[in-house]
Amino acid sequence: MTPEQQEEPRPVADEFVRRVAEGLSGPHEGSLSFADRRALGRAARATTPRSSHAEWETPAGRRDPVDILLAQATTRVPELVPLRHARMMASPFAFYRGAAAIMAADLADTPVTGLTAQICGDAHLSNFGLFGTPEREMVFDINDFDETLPGPWEWDVKRLAASFEIAGRHRGFSARQRRASTIAVARGYRNRMRESAEDDVLASWYSHLTADQLIDWVRAQRHAGFARSVQVRQIERIVAKARTQNSAKVFKSLVDATDSGPRIRSDPPLIVPLEELVSESEAAVINEWMLALLRDYRRSLRDVYSPLDDFRFEHIARKVVGVGSVGTRAWLVLLTGRDERDPLLLQAKEAEASVLEAHLPPSVYPTHGERVVRGQRAMQAASDIFLGWTRLVGIDGRDHDYYLRQFRDWKGSIDVEQLQVEGAMLYAQICGETLARAHARSGDRVAIAGYLGAGDTFDRAISEFARGYADQNESDYEAFAAAAASGRVELPADY
């Protein structure tokens, strides 16, 4: 056992929270020089050895994971909860996607340095992808921020690495192949964070990965012998398809022309127009509610002038989204501009309390919609011009927080079911680097880089954690499946 391993790590409760309370965990550490910030990071190795991140053992008294999921269901649309459970039943990887609350509770007792950043809170591999910037450039970045909150940067890295281990098991990769992908996550994160620490301040802030740069990089890996031609073609197809995903195409696939104007097409239970959910009188009330939502949301947009001002409201429908988010209130909002050939589709998604808030200081923002949007703006290189938030009283008489963004504008992502070994290793590195860029914008990139260092100690530790946590996830999945079989977890009648 090394001296590093013998050192007792400090859990989040007595290190991270202490440093937040003392104002020591922000990106600049007061008036410290860059050299002092680097030294601060290196000093953190004494209290939190890099090798300590390998540790995962099921703690005594760990809360029942099924109880955690059932508690989440109490605030969601009741008739959609069984669908959420069914999606999570598909595989251990699908379960993992919906189990952010379970992992947040587990991570709360793992070693942390006390250095903080704006973190995603749900940084698994399916929450990265392509999207269009306001400058109409396609970039690769994190694309889900429902759980975002300032917190330990290590938590995001561990959730991301574990997702590659779990996905690799799902795809039948060998233990050696899975280890290579989880090492690639941590190595990509560490190398990119070290580069950010050495970059000029603005260069680090503006750093991002465009779709064209992504393709060039993958092609270079092929020529270097690290990727097969099929992986290059797959990336090229994903980028080409994403570029076709614009408002006009989505409009054609989801909207019908009717005598009453354009209407979102019914596809229950995934898409259900408002008039199929409630009575005519209730629909009139909700339409007024939606107009009020749009007026309030408009005030949260960054720009004084917005193209939203030239659009008018036409129709809404309830939309089922994701895996973990199923059951939250989400709406498709159809607007038109000059005429019906000039559409805009927005997604209004309910924002609940972050799963991290039970374990970290609460958000400083008055609504969860604003928490999501502010966190996204902090982490992404560029954000949707329609990204904003609102809070309104729903038809149930309760306050509901929402954030809104454009629906499927130049969106593209990796299909886990098609992931090959070489592609997984390349994608793992890309995701690790992307996560580091996001953390470098809000956290102390110099101190974090000083902590990580030039060696691979951290990489190997994260890979070992991912293996151990994947075992935990499989155990939790089996408990969830058993609860479903007993009727404790409700599934759709036709499941």
Task: Spell out a b/e string for 231-262, using b for 16 or more CB atoms within 10 Å of the CB, else e.
Answer: bbebbeebbeebeebbbeebbeebbeeeeeeb
pLDDT in the model for residue 28: 52
Classify the phi-psi angles of 155: left when phi > 0, otherwise alpha if psi is within -120 to 50, otherwise beta.
Answer: alpha
Taking only Cα atoms into account, the Rg of the chain, rounded to an integer number of angstroms, comes to: 23
Nearby residues of 398 by Cβ (< 8 Å), 6 or more positions away:
none
pLDDT band at 224 (very low <50, low <70, confident <90, very high): low
Average pLDDT over residues 181-197: 97
State which residues form the domain around 302.
Answer: 247-406
Whether pLDDT at 227 is above 70: no
At 327-363, the pLDDT tens digits run 688 899 999 999 888 899 999 999 999 999 999 999 9
Q: Are residues 196 and 299 in the same domain?
A: no
DSSP helix/strand/coil, 393 = strand
Residues 470 and 385 placed together within one structural domain of the fold: no
> Is 493 inside any structural domain?
no
Q: Is 203 exposed, middle or buried (0-12, 13-18, 19+ CB in 10 A)?
A: exposed
Around Cβ 365, how many Cβ atoms within 10 Å? 16
Same domain, 363 and 480: no
Per DSSP, which regions of 341-396 are E strands?
Answer: 343-350, 388-393
Residues 400 and 445 in one domain: no
Burial of 339 (0-12, 13-18, 19+ CB in 10 A): exposed
| Band of pLDDT at residue 389, cut at 50, 70 and 90 | very high
Q: What is the mean pLDDT of residues 190-211?
A: 91
Whether the pLDDT of residue 218 is over 60: the answer is: yes
Tens of pLDDT along 9-34? 344 434 444 444 444 445 555 568 89
| Pairing between β-strand 261-264 and β-strand 255-258 as defined by DSSP bridges | antiparallel
3-state secondary structure 75-112: CCCHHHHHHHHHHHCCCHHHHHHHCHHHHHHHHCCCEC
Decide if 475 is inside a domain.
yes
Q: Does residue 256 sit in helix, strand or coil?
A: strand
C-alpha to C-alpha distance for 476 and 357, rounded to whole angstroms: 22
pLDDT single digits (tens) 272-325 = 998 898 888 888 888 888 888 888 999 999 877 789 999 999 999 999 887 878
The domain boundary residue, chosen from 383, 406, 429: 406
CA atoms within 13 A on the CB side of 10: 18
More confident residue, 232 or 153: 153
Does residue 209 belong to any structural domain of this protein?
A: no
Tell whether 121 and 58 lie within a shared domain: yes
Q: Is the dihedral of CA 171, 177, 178, 180 positive or negative?
A: negative
Do 257 and 369 sit in the same domain of this protein?
A: yes
- Domain membership flag for residue 50: yes
Contacts of 25 by beta carbon, 8 Å cutoff, 6+ apart: 16, 19, 114, 115, 116
Can you tell me the distance from the alpha carbon of 26 to that of 33, in angstroms, rounded to the nearest whole number?
14
Question: What does the pLDDT look like over 54-105, one tens digit per residue?
Answer: 999 999 999 999 999 999 999 888 899 999 999 999 999 999 999 999 999 9
In 3D space, the residue among 63, 24, 236, 254 whose CA is nearest the CA of residue 138 turns out to be: 236
**Based on the structure, what is the number of domains in the chain?**
2
Report d(CA 194, CA 188) in Å as an integer: 10
Sheet holding 271-273, edge to edge: 271-273, 312-319, 330-336, 343-350, 399-406, 388-393
Among 390, 406, 422, residue at a domain's last position: 406
Q: Looking at the DSSP assignment, which residues form a beta bridge with residue 389?
A: 403
Which has the minimum average pLDDT: 132-136, 210-214, 393-397, 441-445? 393-397
- Whether residue 373 is contained in a domain is answered as yes
**444 and 398 in one domain?**
no
Task: Specify whether 113 is located in the same domain as 158.
Answer: yes
**Tokens linked to 382:** 């560029």
Co-location of 461 and 401 in the same domain = no
374-388, pLDDT tens digit by residue? 999 999 988 889 999
pLDDT score of 33 = 87
Asked whether residue 50 falls in the same domain as residue 177, the answer is yes
CA distance 315 to 313: 6
| Per-residue DSSP letter, 493 | T
- Count of CB atoms within 10 A of residue 74's CB? 8
Contact status, residue 124 vs residue 466, Cβ threshold 8 Å: no
Token code pair at residue 434: 């992307």
Q: Could you tell me if residue 42 is inside a domain?
A: yes
- Which of 362, 386, 406 is the endpoint of a domain? 406
Res 494: pLDDT: 87
* For residue 5, pLDDT beyond 60: no
The answer to whether residue 425 is domain-embedded is no
189 lies in the same domain as 262: no
Q: Indicate the length of the chain as a whole number.
A: 495
Judge if 48 and 179 occupy the same domain. yes
Please check whether residue 222 lies inside any domain of the structure.
no
pLDDT tens digit sequence for 114-126: 999 999 999 999 9
